[in-house]
């Protein structure tokens, strides 16, 4: 690829298949992960011709002009960016593809800009299955020059790229999108509990929701597939859902907006997090609700 080698830091549930999708598309990927052996696992799956292991974030930054971060929190991103800042050459670009706090994203972009290095936010929407085949939806916040440098790499991981505006805007939109999803999943789960108490056929209730105005992505892709059979295997961790809701809460606080439905949604998800743990599937919000 004309853009050269891609650095990729963070090979978790989503990061691993995303990095592999880039490698399958012909990109040479230098990978690093804090978990011992994870980068070596990536190379084994990608093949040595397309994958390489780095011992540190600084090593990635010194070898790659463009570096993707797929990390759990803004705190993790800040720590890695500090390492990268001393290693990357002017003209380099960091792409934060996790779900970070927009204000922190803007701060880190300013700090890197002072060193001649760009930072854009490019969070993703879609399941692990979509990550595996490179068909994620990717929101991108940043300038035209940075987007032009990032676009060839992003297209190996996503089939839909949506430019959202200035740096930080994509992280804000991702958090607000996930708030709407979380609210829909919570409402759908509660409707199932209410329907059960009425003795309703929950399969038929699901059909009614999906044919009517109550339809949302949770009713379409989570009720019959994960909740009604009790498999609870939607593929997105409850802890990450709760984190995204807290990011949405930070956006509300920054804008001085009361956001009452968001506040209520956050409370329920935080109680579910305390009860079920962060590694539970997000569809287990249904299991948390009283029967």
For residue 139, being part of any structural domain is answered with yes
Query: Which residues belong to the active site?
Result: 174
Tokens of 159: 């089939």
| Residues facing residue 160 across a β-bridge | 137
Rounded to two decimals, the pTM is 0.92
Is 245 within the bounds of a domain? Answer: yes
Domain finish residue from 129, 149, 166: 166
Question: Which structural domain range is residue 116 located in?
Answer: 6-166
Residues 37 and 135 in one domain: yes
The answer to whether the CB of 103 falls within 8 A of the CB of 254 is yes
52, 142: one domain: yes
Q: Do residues 229 and 161 share a domain?
A: no
Closest to 154 (Cα-Cα) out of 201, 189, 121, 194: 121
Same structural domain, 152 and 178: no
Of 166, 194, 214, which one is at a domain's C-terminal end?
166
Name the domain count of the chain. 2
For residues 147 and 219, state if they share a domain: no
pLDDT tens over the chain, length 291 residues: 445 899 999 999 999 999 999 999 999 999 999 999 999 999 999 987 788 999 999 999 999 999 999 999 999 999 999 999 999 999 999 999 999 999 999 999 999 999 999 999 999 998 888 999 999 999 999 999 999 999 999 999 999 999 999 999 999 999 999 999 999 999 999 999 999 999 999 999 999 999 999 999 999 999 999 999 999 999 899 999 999 999 999 999 999 999 999 999 999 999 999 999 999 999 999 999 999
Residue 1 in any domain: the answer is no
| Helices (H), ranges, the chain | 15-24, 38-46, 57-63, 74-85, 102-113, 128-132, 144-154, 169-197, 202-211, 217-221, 238-255, 260-276, 285-288
pLDDT, position 3 = 56
Question: Is residue 215 domain-shared with residue 254, that is, in the same domain?
Answer: yes
Do both 123 and 177 map to the same domain?
no
Same domain? 26 vs 158: yes
Note whether residue 24 is domain-resident.
yes
């Amino acid at each position: 690829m004309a853009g050269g080698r891609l650095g990729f830091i963070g090979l978790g549930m989503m990061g691993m298949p995303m990095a592999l999708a880039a490698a399958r598309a012909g990109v040479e990927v230098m990978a690093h992960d804090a978990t011992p052996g994870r980068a070596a696992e990536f190379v084994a799956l990608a093949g040595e011709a397309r994958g390489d292991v780095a011992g540190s974030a600084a090593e990635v930054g010194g070898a790659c002009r463009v570096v993707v971060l797929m990390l759990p929190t803004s705190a993790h991103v800040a720590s890695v960016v500090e390492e990268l800042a001393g290693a990357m050459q002017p003209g380099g670009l960091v792409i934060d593809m996790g779900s970070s706090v927009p204000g922190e994203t803007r701060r880190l972009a300013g700090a890197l800009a002072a060193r001649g290095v760009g930072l854009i936010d490019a969070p993703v929407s879609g399941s692990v299955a979509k990550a595996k085949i490179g068909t994620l939806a990717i929101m991108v916040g940043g300038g035209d020059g940075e987007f032009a440098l990032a676009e060839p790499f992003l297209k190996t991981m996503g089939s839909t790229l949506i430019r959202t505006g200035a740096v930080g805007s994509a992280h804000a939109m991702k958090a607000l999108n996930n708030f709407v999803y979380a609210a829909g999943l919570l409402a759908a789960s509660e409707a199932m509990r209410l329907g059960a108490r009425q003795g309703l056929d929950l399969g038929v209730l699901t059909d009614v929701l999906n044919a009517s105005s109550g339809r949302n992505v949770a009713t379409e892709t989570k009720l019959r597939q994960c909740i009604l059979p009790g498999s609870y295997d939607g593929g997105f961790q409850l802890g990450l859902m709760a984190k995204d809701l807290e990011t949405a809460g930070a956006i509300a606080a920054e804008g001085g907006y009361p956001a009452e439905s968001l506040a209520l949604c956050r409370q329920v998800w935080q109680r579910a997090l305390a009860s079920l743990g962060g590694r539970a599937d997000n569809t287990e919000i249904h299991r948390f609700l009283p029967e």
